[in-house]
Amino acid sequence: MTAHSSFDRWPKAELHLHLEGTISPDTLWALAQANHVALPVGTLAELRALFTFESFEHFIKLWMLMCSCLKTAADYERMVDGFVEECVRQNIRYVEAHFTPYNHELLGFGGRRALDIVTRRLEGAEAAGGPVARLIADIPSEAAGKAGPYTAGLLEEETNPLVVAIGLGGPEVGFPRALFAPWFARARAAGYEAVAHAGETEGAPHVRQAVLDLGVRRVQHGIRAVEDEEVLRLLAERRICCDVALTSNECLRVVPAVKDHPVRRMIAAGVPVTLSTDDPPFFGTDLNREYERAHRELGFTPPELWELNLNGLRHALAETGVRRRLMAEFRAAAEALGIG
């Protein structure tokens, strides 16, 4: 089997991706024009250039600009449709996407309203044979004091068939993970799982806090855990999966280059790992490319990468029946493709 020619044929699972972060420059341009939203650039070409990652601050500004262009139900449906089309193109059969209701509340559309529209569109896509998608209701850390209670309250008040967890995104610096413990506890008490970004731009203590204070099932990134052997052991012993995004880490300068990424050290320590894209248009990547880079620059063999892919189902937060059905589908594909 030739890896480069086959990754696009693999059925894949992705556990670390932000729904709003999948909006392409072309879609953003169209939304801005339709909704008369002023952009900081005058042409589509300049907007595409704006998607070249510069800094986390630049990223957050562009993120909020994208959200501000979502004005109508049709706009949210368009965002979901683009996301689904990309999943189909890449043969992603299962995906867990972060979605941030608070930002849409803040911008006046309504967080619950946005979540309901997204849910209905994803349910329709799944019913039509598209990807199985589940959602993580995300707290943006920079708005902790308001976003935390808002998100926890939203989850307590309403049962959404696709929301499987509370999550935590936004900047790490200045926002200890333990700060969010009360809102995570409320969500867990309401029956939701927990996922958090940690160990990306801050060190191993944030990973420890995510596990011990937030009670997470998975850590998004988590790569700075390699700075502390005890934290690595904690992840391994508790089988806490780290959803790694190679190109994102390179662009954010968390690692000098993908070839320097510590993901192999994590695996060697017994930590379960998956590969994901984070915010693909920002980093010029997709899931096939992440697999290709892991193969080419880190020396992962196709069988090793297939195990990381299966981790995406083993550590998925979907219902047991869904995971079993998809695992059977993936194993049948592995046999047909000669993986192993």
Bridge partners (DSSP) of residue 140 are 169
At residue 10, the 3 state secondary structure works out as coil
302-314 vs 320-337: helix crossing angle, rounded to 10 = 170
| Contact yes or no for 102/111 (Cβ under 8 A) | yes
> Residue 268 — left, alpha, or beta (φ > 0 → left; ψ -120 to 50 → alpha)?
alpha
Give the Cα separation of 262 and 84 in Å (integer). Answer: 31
Is 133:95 a contact under the CB 8 Å cutoff?
yes
Task: Collapse the DSSP code of 37 into the 3-class scheme (helix H, G, I; strand E, B; otherwise coil) and give the result.
Answer: coil
Please tell me the number of Cα atoms within 13 Å of 259 on its side-chain side. Answer: 2
Here the tokens at position 228 are 């502390």
Structure tokens at 270: 């017994």
Contact 275, 244 (CB under 8 A): yes
How is residue 224 annotated by DSSP?
G
Task: Determine whether 200 is an active site residue.
Answer: yes
- d(CA 70, CA 248) in angstroms, rounded, equals 25
Return the ∠ at Cα 70 (arms to 63 and 45), rounded to 5°.
60
* Dist CA 257 CA 142 (whole Å): 28
Closest alpha carbon to 274 in 228, 204, 222? 222
163-169 vs 218-221, strand pairing mode: unpaired
Active-site pick, 96, 172, 200, 290: 200
For the sheet with 273-275, list strands across it: 12-18, 92-99, 132-140, 163-169, 193-198, 218-221, 241-244, 273-275
Catalytic residues: 200
